[in-house]
Amino acid sequence: MNEKVAVYISRKLYERVKKEVEESGGEFKDVSEYIEFVLEELLKEENEEAVYTKEEEEEIKRRLRALGYM
């Protein structure tokens, strides 16, 4: 299990993310999970050498669809 650390964000941003989590239809269990997912995806995009497995790509597409981006 990965050790967790605290990160502080504005209340306004927290409320926006909380709304996304609530509207995700159970895709994310809480704000922390959502933020971790988004940051991981952002960092993967910046890494030019990142290659997704077919399963990872399908999972990303599924989550983006659930959020209404696809």
pLDDT in tens, 7-48: 999 999 999 999 999 999 999 999 999 999 999 988 886 666
Long-range pairs for 29-34: beta carbons < 8 A, 24 or more residues apart? 32/4
What are the tens digits of pLDDT across the range 45-61?
A: 666 665 788 899 999 99
Q: How far from 22 is each of 5, 17, 37, 42, CA to CA, in Å?
A: 23, 9, 15, 21
**Contacting residues for 17 by C-beta, under 8 A, at least 6 apart:** 9, 31, 34, 35
Q: Supply the pTM of this predicted model.
A: 0.61
